[in-house]
Copies of this chain bind each other. A is one copy, B any other.
């Protein structure tokens, strides 16, 4: 057994407890009642990083949630790794579908169950415990900076400006992030691409108060009917998005990339079985693994209006709402897409309802080359921990700040994520397999052992 494996084995209970303490702070950035938890969580990280030998750790207040910055300075002449993570989590709703409390982590069937077990508390703890392990064994041969924010799930609103204002402080050779997922537990992978995102809220108003659908139905536009018609016009029957000029800047998939994607182990039957669907739906002409990573998508994330309670209340409501989003791919500009969407909806909206489209947040897609030394160190580290060389794959999720880092610092980010699709991030019963948690820590420790010696 390697020295690293042994150290992790000896400390596994404590590592888990450290994660649990972090999870118990319900740092939900989307819900304003959790505002005090954001500060608590930032302070918790500061104390924890200081306890590991990171010499300086500061909390920076922003107009939103605080940013934690830590600096472990080994030797100014050595290369510097910036570890980025986020301490905020998604809302736990719908609560009734959780099998255990979202903010009281539980180990069941070899998994950790809790909101944030993976995204991103589990994964950020993998980074920190990997660093701790490497530190304990004298294996850290670089400077390490930690940048932990509390607004990733709501669009990293203040981080880019913070980066621009602290260019020198944050200077590094590469960024390393654990906030993505692997192909599977058996097929480790590194993420070389991310999708971008544009997100809007649509509000449709009919009459200025709820109406009796008997007295007014048929004579006055129903905002829910009209919202549905608008949404139905954003995607055609071939799964293509109908917003004018939407695909103008999309970089077509190369034959090489399609060939690489074809190498990823994938069974459509198992995928359908996992999802419990009779059939899949996506853009005509593309494979599932292309659709969910290299092609844009349009999803209604939430919709509401009128009576949602028990029974059969008849009402012609005054308002209807939807939260809708597009995943974007290289080289779509999210501002351009956002404006095109708003223009399109305004153009197709009938004049008998009032339609307001509010852009909520957005971010660009990202691509990472596989010949960077830091990428290769990560590849080798994972190969040691998982016993298998990781595939290089593009993933469908979005971490808008990754593209921003490249814009601001001019450096690339290594997406060394340890999530699994079955971890149910953003959903009830989010979880992380225990063995992945420990293999992740091992991978990060191995990374420090290797980097920057190659």
Contacts and interface: CB of A to CB of B under 8 A. Distances in A.
A91 B306 CA distance: 12
> How many copies of this chain are found per oligomer?
2
Interface in A218-254: 218-222, 224-225, 227-229, 231-233, 235, 239
A46 interface: no
Nearest to A397: B214
Nearest to A326: B217
A376 interface: no
A82 B359 CA distance: 58
Contact of A303 (B221, B276, B305, B316): B305
Given A217-B292, A421-B215, A303 B224 contact: yes
A325 interface: yes
Given A352-B279, A428-B209, A315 B292 contact: no
A303 B303 contact: yes
A278 B425 CA distance: 43
Contacts of A360: 311-312
A79 interface: no
A166 interface: no
A30 B208 contact: no
A225 B235 CA distance: 9
Interface stretch (A6-14, A121-129, A280-288): A280-288
A332 B303 CA distance: 32
A297 B213 contact: yes
Contacts of A145: none
Interface in A1-47: 29-32
Contacts of A288: 219
Interface residues of A, number: 103
Nearest to A211: B427
A195 interface: yes
Contacts of A235: 225
Contacts of A397: 212, 214-215
A299 B282 CA distance: 29
B280 A351 contact: no
Nearest to A223: B300
Contact of A314 (B181, B197, B229, B275): B197
Which are the 8 A-B pairs with shortest beta-carbon distances? A214-B397, A218-B297, A30-B311, A302-B306, A232-B232, A208-B276, A217-B297, A224-B300
Interface of A: 29-32, 90-91, 93, 97, 153-155, 181, 195, 197, 199, 201, 206-222, 224-225, 227-229, 231-233, 235, 239, 275-283, 288-289, 291-292, 295-317, 320-323, 325, 327, 350-354, 360-361, 395-398, 421, 424-429
20 contacts: A30-B309, A30-B310, A30-B312, A31-B309, A91-B307, A210-B428, A212-B425, A217-B298, A218-B282, A220-B277, A220-B292, A221-B279, A227-B228, A227-B303, A228-B300, A232-B232, A280-B352, A302-B307, A302-B313, A314-B426
